[in-house]
Amino acid sequence: MKNRKWMWCLPLALLTLFVSLSPAYGDLYWEYEEVSGGMPAGFPEDLPKQVRDQMLAQFKPKTETTKHYLTSYASRTETGEMIIIMDFRNMTVYQINPSDKTYRKMNMMSEMGQMGEGMAEGRQVRASNETKKIAGYTCRKYIVSVMGLENEHWLSKDVKGYAEYKAMTEKMYESNPRLKQMQMGGTSDMQGFPVKTVSNVMGITTTTTLKKIEKRTLSKDLFEVPRGYKLIELEMPPR
């Protein structure tokens, strides 16, 4: 389960990476409220009541706060018990599990590149003329279709960090053309910072909404694997 969540969290982490990269304007910190819930598709109806109740308890609606830290050289995303660090200097991603003091690592241009190529196949973005105010920002709606799933994105140019995103996305793609080819940033054809996203995977709906964003001076320790953590080999899914 953790490995699957790690794979699904990577695209979101990559999305936020390219959205707000801002070395010229200092470090950034922001939070999303993440609300998820729903009934898994194909859930069996003929289970004994006790077994059914135990299984359904795992899918009760829940609300979490995801935290994001960003500097010119690295980013950190905290989601539940999972921490994802992206080191832009060596193009490496680290997934850290504090509960058992282990971590996994992946190279953005090789292992992650295989994932990106698969996800980019058939990816489509539809910009709509629909706009509305969300969390105090005027947002525009985009629909992103990838791997047979449609996700709803509400982006705003009013969010602090958008100017940095635009400049740094262009710079990142210029220095790493393969990232643009694979659509690893996720936003080259969308305009603005993601204020709200709505996704539905196998009957489970997840909604994330921006709650705060601010400039901070961030410690380098936030972007390093803690000492004493054990490296676990990452099992890649078949292509």
Rounded average pLDDT over 21-48: 72
The pLDDT of residue 84 is: 95
pLDDT, tens only, 52-81: 677 666 667 889 999 998 877 888 999 988
All domains of the chain in start order, with CATH: 2-231 (2.50.20.10)
Q: Does residue 238 register a pLDDT over 50?
A: no
- Token pair of 136, please? 């105090």
Using CA atoms, how far residue 188 sits from 60, 70, 125, 140, 191, in Å, is 35, 19, 10, 15, 8
Work out the mean pLDDT of the chain and round it to a whole number.
76
pLDDT, tens only, 195-214: 999 998 877 889 999 999 88
* Distance separating alpha carbons of residues 83 and 201, to the nearest angstrom: 22
pLDDT, tens only, 109-145: 765 555 555 555 557 888 999 999 999 999 999 998 8
pLDDT, tens only, 91-108: 888 999 999 999 999 887
The pLDDT of residue 228 is: 96
Q: Does residue 239 register a pLDDT over 80?
A: no
Strand-strand pairing, 230-231 and 102-107 = parallel
Which amino acid makes up residue 161? G
With CA atoms as reference, report the closest residue to 65 among 32, 36, 17, 37.
32
The pLDDT of residue 125 is: 84
